[in-house]
Amino acid sequence: MSRGIFQRLSGKAGEIRIESLGVLVGTMTHWTLARRGDDVPNPELYDLYAVFSYVNPHLWDDNEYQKQITVKVGKDTFRLEQQDGFATIMDGRKSMRMPGVKLCQ
């Protein structure tokens, strides 16, 4: 089993923003973070799966702007950073899978 305090976290509040513009790109209704496991690259990282109530695909696809992804765990808000070498998979306006993320405060 991977080392770390939490193997799996989930919640109901999360969002994607373009902070430089003050624009909301998406709102999550449910998200799950799971440790990657020992038999994959970077086992200390998490894989994010998120379901959206709202997402603007045009803003999401615009690579000119840096997106900030945050999730709420209890009363705290954490920023997620995807590490290099991992690809995000977006299922239209419904869900997203983002492997290789780091939980930051």
Residue 88 contacts residue 69 (beta carbons within 8 Å): no
Taking only the tens place, the pLDDT of each residue in 38-78 is: 777 777 899 999 999 999 989 999 999 999 999 999 899 99
Residue 36 contacts residue 100 (beta carbons within 8 Å): yes
- What pLDDT, on a 0 to 100 scale, did the predictor assign at position 53? 95
- What pLDDT, on a 0 to 100 scale, did the predictor assign at position 1? 39
Tokens read off for 34: 């799971």
Residue 58 contacts residue 26 (beta carbons within 8 Å): no
What value, to the nearest 5°, has the Cα angle with vertex 65 and ends 98 and 32?
20
Question: Model pTM?
Answer: 0.85
Q: What are phi and psi for residue 73, nearest 5 degrees? A: -120, 105
Q: Strand (E) positions, the chain?
A: 8-11, 14-18, 23-35, 46-55, 68-73, 76-82, 89-91, 95-104
